[in-house]
Amino acid sequence: DELDIVLERLGKQTYPHFEIVISDSKSKDHTKAVCEKYGATWIEDPSRNRADACNFALNQMDHDLVLFTDDDTVPPLDWVEKLIRWFDDPEVGAVGGPNFAPDDDPFGAKCADVAFCTKFMTAGTRYGAQPKGELVPITHNPGVNCAHRMANLREVGFFEEGCIGAEDVVLDAKIQRAGHKLFIDPSNVMPHRRRRPFKPYMKQMRNYGYTRMVANKRWPEIATWSHTAIGFFPPIVVIALAAMLYGGLSGGAEADLWFSLSGEWDLARVAFHIPLGLVSFYIGLSWLGAAIGTSPHRSLGTVFLAPLFVFLAQWAYGQGVIKAWREVRRTGGRAGEGAQIDDRIRTA
């Protein structure tokens, strides 16, 4: 049903001269019939992951430009026109844009969108990136909303073979390594459905952490300090909760010790109040970051719940990072190859 929406919107674009290609990896639903309904090119694909599926289709295509999006988007009717206009400039190697939850997403998904787009706590995500300017240099555009020159894709060998996730990040790194430039058009927004709380949302974040870290092992230039730091978040949370429990049971939470710096700061008081102060700072920073973030779905309710959604995202992402560390130790640079890692049951 989501694919039906995407193809219907793509069929009504203001720029009509393009081909829609679906690389179908052994689906068991009516994908082929939906493609035929909208005149899309259906390619039967033997792959086990998105990177190989894209490569299988790209090797059969002959176009100057290639645009990418997902099956859970609501493409604006001028999406194609707004992306391809920038390629008149030969300096432009690729162009992308931000993506936010569509207006008809449920409240929980909008809370996730606000958490993705906070100013501080999830600043590493590119989903809600909206820098000032018409066309701004950038190091990565999410694959849900981007366009590339086919010549550049061929030059770098398309997507990294066997990549089970973060394939768009790795592709952008390869393109920049080849000397080509990436840009973002902040005005070309793609509505992209967010995962609902709580299990789908956390599973997506866990997979993000895992796939990004195994990709970082093979492509060190895409790594940032925050990808490693977030792996320490779950154990820090456990230690902080244990310290507060110890401090509370040992007298550190007595009523006369609250909202005061006077008195003796023994181990029990430190163990309870220092973590509590850090938790309060975390909540406040999450609220502030959400309030001044880029999500169009900021409201009293979504901003109020931002600390919860930010915490769940960082906890799950950190779990994924820890899982990746273990696998990298076992398998080295071959980690992150094989069947697609995803939070959804993919039929296409």
pLDDT digits (tens, 9 = 90+) for 126-148: 677 788 899 999 999 999 999 99
Asked, for residue 210, whether it belongs to a domain, the answer is no
Do 174 and 286 reside in the same domain of the chain? Answer: no
Whether the per-residue pLDDT at 23 is higher than 50: the answer is: yes
User: Containing domain of residue 12, as a range?
Assistant: 2-194
Q: Sorting pLDDT into bands at 50, 70 and 90, what band is 165?
A: confident
Whether the per-residue pLDDT at 240 is higher than 50: the answer is: yes
Predicted local distance difference test score (pLDDT) of residue 27: 83
Range in 47-51, 58-62, 305-309, 319-323 with the lowest mean pLDDT: 47-51
Asked, for residue 202, whether it belongs to a domain, the answer is no
Domain tally for the chain? 2
Whether the per-residue pLDDT at 239 is higher than 60: the answer is: yes
Do 31 and 173 reside in the same domain of the chain? Answer: yes
Asked, for residue 299, whether it belongs to a domain, the answer is yes
CA-based nearest residue to 182, from 133, 146, 215, 130: 146
Asked, for residue 343, whether it belongs to a domain, the answer is no
Do 129 and 259 reside in the same domain of the chain? Answer: no
Do 108 and 241 reside in the same domain of the chain? Answer: no
Do 65 and 179 reside in the same domain of the chain? Answer: yes
Q: What residue ranges in the chain does DSSP mark as E strands? A: 21-24, 41-44, 65-68, 92-96, 99-100, 136-137, 146-149, 181-184, 190-191
Asked, for residue 265, whether it belongs to a domain, the answer is yes
Do 188 and 231 reside in the same domain of the chain? Answer: no
Q: Sorting pLDDT into bands at 50, 70 and 90, what band is 348?
A: very low
- Look at the pTM and tell me if it is higher than 0.85: yes
